[in-house]
Structure 1
């Protein structure tokens, strides 16, 4: 299985690397592997859906 780093995932998904780490810690990204101080993310994993709402309306992707 091919893995990418947090930095590569943040560039691919257009979000900060800190946000990717938060998603990993929360278990929102499936199939991650925790190496000593970093995460390895499967290369074919899609960006998790943003669960936030704005005034009862969904934020568009």
Structure 2
């Protein structure tokens, strides 16, 4: 299995590197693990739904 860094995933998902790190820390990216001080993320990992954005009541 191929892995990517948090920086590479951030570019792929168009979000910040810090946001990717937070998602990893929260356990929201399946298969991600920390190797020394670097987050290693499976290449085929899916971007989790952003819980910070609320849906409208009528949707």
Give the length in aligned residue pairs: 56
| Residue ranges of structure 2 left out of the alignment (5+ in a row) | none
- Stretches of structure 1 that go unaligned for 5 or more consecutive residues are none
CA distance in structure 2 between the aligned counterparts of 1:44 and 1:12, rounded to whole angstroms: 11
Which secondary structure state, in structure 2, belongs to the residue aligned with residue 49 of structure 1? Answer: coil
Name the residue aligned to 2:2: 2
User: SS state of the match for residue 51, structure 1?
Assistant: coil
| TM-score, normalised with respect to structure 2 | 0.87
TM-score by length of 1: 0.84
RMSD: 1.4
Superposed structure 1 runs of 4+ greater than 3 Å apart: none
- 1:34 Cα deviation from its structure 2 partner: 1.1
Are 1:23 and 2:34 matched, yes or no? no
